[in-house]
Structure 1
């Protein structure tokens, strides 16, 4: 029996990778936040960065100005009135998202930030613990780069991650609950764009019905609360906030994109060329997802492919949006639903997914955005994994030995 050393333990290498990431961007951002310098914490821009969006939006909605959020000029005026500048922010969320953040406007900024981030992180950890079947995952997620980035940026990553993994990992055992999660996921609809495709292929009618009912109730409640005008502005506003973000020429913004569109823009391609690049990756993502289902892969492989394909398919993914891929990567890395953990090459890839925010940030410093490549390689690796699992499922079961001797009449 080989002698055990810590270097043989995959937990050591994962811990090492996570800690290396914490000494990168998160440590620098935390220092800016703590010392009240830089963009993450100063007199005009409180710690928590992007949470300014949710706090200002909730206050505007409480005051009856929900429609103003969807006009970039009006929204810029709201931010400037409160903080002296708009920081280049735009409101990108559908009106029913306001229902989830509406109470935040009742509290001072700091308390609202603590309540929102604490509640969404707790939801993410509780759902992850339920799916994992133990508390070990909570410790890993607490030290994962996505957690530090989510807190420092004051973003929705924990909420989206909780709803995403809760929906796709529970639809075998708890289809109604999974449908509720997916219905709530429509508050950030781009992350659910491939889910209907899978639900229809697998004929998960209970999940589909529950998700549609949940989303319908949320939309109806938002119409009752804010009227029809915010929805009209969301769909037909002549000033498109999303275009302001996607078509921006800011290198710093493009450098934190993990989608093919953002990577192409970072490399200097025009929006039209970047759209073609994104289309190519999106088609590959759909093809990989379809192949995984045709090959009769195991449930954990199919879910991992759905998550990876989604992050390759959509054109707007930022470095803090990795809560769902991080959980999926950890599940595969530790071999939660199979006897053996993956081999060396696949394990390195999974650690790369869990630390992608750091890897992409480091490689963009030398002009190479690796985010899309990592997700594309993961999709390709999962196709290989699905093929192997399909071959194993197709093998005939060994026949039971026939007992020798004369039968008794």
Structure 2
């Protein structure tokens, strides 16, 4: 039977044109993401080549080859091994000693990590700096993939997340953002079926407490008291090991100069090319728009409270909203950077639906745009990263909650996985 056209040929419907356009937009976004991936690979290859040809004996104030954050963790372990862990929070002396040990790097930031970081730092410092950077990064990458797979996240979603700009930046810095995100997802996925295992995994987030900011809300709303006990025991163990490695003086310094340095870092006046360009918090968004510090804190407080209430209701209703919980956690903290979005880039693809191409196109751009956030900030003073998180949270809320039950692709897959069923 002839189609709608007079010549017997079928014509494209408006819906068909819309789907094709949405797919083209999605393909364009993924192409941009592929370019970012190749750029990240090139950056790592350049870093390794420079080290092999020049060693570490050259000035590098902008972390071109300096193993930026990893070097900071390595130094923390070295200080602890020599009984000088408390000096980590004395910024002047810390910077002076760091410059003696690693003369190639300048512009040392204040050390603001809690004493719970000392155990991984101690392990890291047992390895040579450069070899350790690559070995530890590989080990954390493999551990993250294993945890995410056991949480029921599809392999293609993990692969998409790992080639994203935030994940590449996380690896470039030698940070713990990816492994902390994986621990958060794994622990939440086990919270109902295996609460002790879930609580133990979540307790490890004490090394970067911003990842655990809303964990108590989810655990208490889900009424998983065994998980509470496992978390308390795990955090206590990390604190005890931190005390054993760093001593009482380190805890005293952290609560004094350490907290003061953290506040100064958080509230420093934003500049077009400052570190706030890599931020993801509502606080830095408002601060960049020239709100007062008090107003920025108030705005962050409102958003954090709203996120906590959202998660309380979702977890209280018997749901397991992994993506929504992760996005809320990232939004709730006043302190966070682009490398913390690595787990965001992993979870975004899990919200895709075959029958909604325009939403998939939007998800593709949400996946790509964190790479553009620093440049947008430097030109306009507007930090778009928290706005991307808010958009992702809205999509996750629509995807993971429908008629009182989760309908996300990855959670349906997780419910079919033997490891997720209650035992």
The question of a shared fold, defined as TM-score above 0.5 by the shorter chain, is answered with yes
RMSD value, Cα: 3.4
For residues 392 and 193 of structure 1, what CA distance do their matches in structure 2 show?
23
Match of 2:296 in 1: 274
2:124 to 100, 104, 112: 104
Q: CA deviation at 1:65?
A: 0.7
Query: Which residue is 2:110 aligned to?
Result: 90
Q: How does 1:20-99 map to 2 (within 5 A)?
A: 20-22=35-37, 26=40, 30=44, 33=47, 43-45=58-60, 46-84=65-103, 86-99=106-119
1:271 to partner: Cα distance:
2.4
For 1:120 and 1:204, the matched residues in 2 are separated by: 28
Determine the C-alpha separation between the residues in 2 that align with 1:279 and 1:248.
18
Q: Which residue of 2 aligns with 1:148?
A: 168
Contact 1:319 1:357 in 2 (8 A): yes
Aligned-residue offset at 1:351: 2.8
Q: Would the alpha carbon gap of residues 325 and 35 (structure 1) be closer, same or farther in structure 2, given more than 3 Å must change? A: same
Counterparts of 1:276 and 1:75, CA distance in 2 = 33
Match of residue 354 from structure 1: 367
Distance 1:75 1:381, change over 3 A: same
1:36–1:42 Cα contact (<8 Å) kept = no
What is the rounded CA distance, in whole Å, between the counterparts of 1:22 and 1:268 in structure 2?
A: 34
Q: Secondary structure at the match of 2:172?
A: helix
In terms of mean alpha carbon deviation, does 357-366 or 177-186 score higher?
357-366
> Secondary structure at the residue paired with 1:389?
coil
- Does structure 1 conserve the Cα–Cα contact (< 8 Å) formed by 2:400 and 2:406? no
Q: CA deviation at 1:392?
A: 10
Q: Is the 8 A contact 2:114 2:207 kept in 1?
A: yes
Shift of 1:353: 3.9
Say which SS state the counterpart of residue 140 (structure 1) adopts.
helix
The counterpart of 1:371, out of the listed 385, 393, 407, is 385
- State whether residues 399 and 406 of structure 2, in contact with CA within 8 Å, keep that contact through their aligned partners in structure 1: no
Alignment partner, residue 396 of structure 1:
none
Offset from partner CA, 1:242-290 (integer Å, 9 cap, x none): 1232122352211111111112223333323322232232233233334
- 2 CA distance for matches of 1:392 and 1:257? 31
**In the alignment, structure 1 residue 18 sits paired with structure 2 residue 33:** yes
Structure 1 residue 183 displacement after superposition: 0.9
What runs of 5+ residues in structure 1 fail to find an aligned partner?
A: 334-339, 394-409
Counterpart pick for 2:404 among 379, 384, 390: 390
* Bigger Cα displacement from structure 2, 115-124 vs 340-349: 340-349
The answer to whether the 8 A contact 1:352-1:359 is kept is no
C-alpha displacement of 1:18: 2.2
Q: How does 1:9-408 map to 2 (within 5 A)?
A: 15-22=30-37, 26=40, 30=44, 33=47, 43-45=58-60, 46-84=65-103, 86-132=106-152, 135-237=155-257, 240-251=260-271, 252-293=274-315, 296=317, 298-299=319-320, 302-333=321-352, 341=354, 343-367=356-380, 368-385=382-399, 388-390=402-404
Measured after TM superposition, the shift of residue 108 of structure 1 is 2.2
2: CA distance between counterparts of 1:133 and 1:303? 10
Instruction: Specify every segment of 5 or more residues in structure 2 that has no aligned partner in the other structure, as ranges.
Output: 1-11, 408-423
Secondary structure of 1:146's partner?
A: helix
Kept after mapping to 2: 8 A contact 1:128/1:327: no
Aligned partners of 1:392 and 1:132: how far apart in 2? Answer: 14
For residue 303 of structure 1, report the CA deviation from its aligned partner. Answer: 2.0
Shift of 1:113: 0.9
Question: SS state of the match for residue 237, structure 1?
Answer: helix
Shift of residue 239 of structure 1? 6.7
Q: Tell me the TM-score normalized by structure 2.
A: 0.79
Which segment drifts farther, 132-141 or 273-282?
132-141
Q: Deviations over 1:359-397 (max 9, x none)?
A: 32343243132111122233334444466333999xxxx
**Inter-partner Cα distance in structure 2 for 1:391 and 1:54:** 42
Q: Deviations for 1:134-155, whole angstroms, at most 9, x for unmatched residues?
A: 6434432332222211121221
Alignment-derived partner of residue 400 in structure 1 = none
SS in 2 for 1:97: helix
Q: 2:322 aligns to what SS in structure 1?
A: helix
Deviation at 1:356, TM superposition (A): 4.2
The CA deviation at 1:227 is 1.9
CA displacement, residues 323-381 of structure 1 (integer Å, 9 cap, x when unaligned): 22222222222xxxxxx557234434433443342132343243132111122233334
Kindly provide the CA deviation profile for residues 102-150 of structure 1, in whole angstroms up to 9, marking residues without a partner as x.
Answer: 1222332101211221111111111122223664344323322222111
Distance in 1 between the 2:197 and 2:366 partners? 28
Query: How has the CA–CA distance of structure 1 residues 323 and 42 changed in structure 2, closer, same or farther, with 3 Å as cutoff?
Result: farther
